[in-house]
Amino acid sequence: MFHLRAADGRPDLCLQVGNPGCVSSPDGSTLLSRLVRFLGVLKVNRAQRNELVVANLPLVGYLVSELCAKATHLSRDDLASVGSLALITSAEAFNPDLGVPFGAFARRRIVGAFADDMRASDWAPRSVRKRIKETLKVRETLTSALGRTPNLDEVAAALGVDRNEAAASLADAARTVSTLDDITAEFLVSETVSPEKTLLESERMKYLRAAVRALPEKMRFIVEQIYFEDRTVKDIAEELGSTHSAVSQQRSEAIRLLGDGLGTHYADDAAAPHVPTSRIAPARRNAYLSMMADHTAGGITRDPHSWAEAHRTPVAEPA
Number of Cβ atoms within 10 Å of the Cβ of 61: 14
Q: Count of alpha carbons within 13 Å of 12, Cβ hemisphere only?
A: 15
Q: Was domain 195-310 assigned CATH 1.10.3720.10?
A: no
Sorted by where each begins, the domain ranges of the chain are 1-40, 44-121, 126-179, 195-310
Structural domain 126-179, CATH architecture:
Orthogonal Bundle (1.10)
Q: Which pLDDT score is estimated for 97? A: 85
Q: Helix, strand, coil % (nearest 5) of the chain?
A: 65, 5, 30
Q: How far is CA 53 from the centre of its chain?
A: 35
Q: 215, 278 in Cβ contact below 8 A? A: no
Structural domain 44-121, CATH architecture:
Orthogonal Bundle (1.10)
Q: What is the pTM of this model?
A: 0.35
Query: pLDDT tens digits for 297-316?
Result: 454 444 444 444 444 544 44
Number of Cβ atoms within 10 Å of the Cβ of 296: 21
Q: Do domains 44-121 and 126-179 have the same CATH topology?
A: no
* Sign of the CA dihedral running 283, 261, 299, 217: positive
Q: 67, 114 in Cβ contact below 8 A? A: yes
Burial class, 86, CB count within 10 angstroms (exposed 0-12 / middle 13-18 / buried 19+) = buried
Q: Which pLDDT score is estimated for 121? A: 73
Query: pLDDT tens digits for 79-93?
Result: 999 999 999 999 888
What angle do the packed helices 126-146 and 163-174 form, to 10 degrees? 100
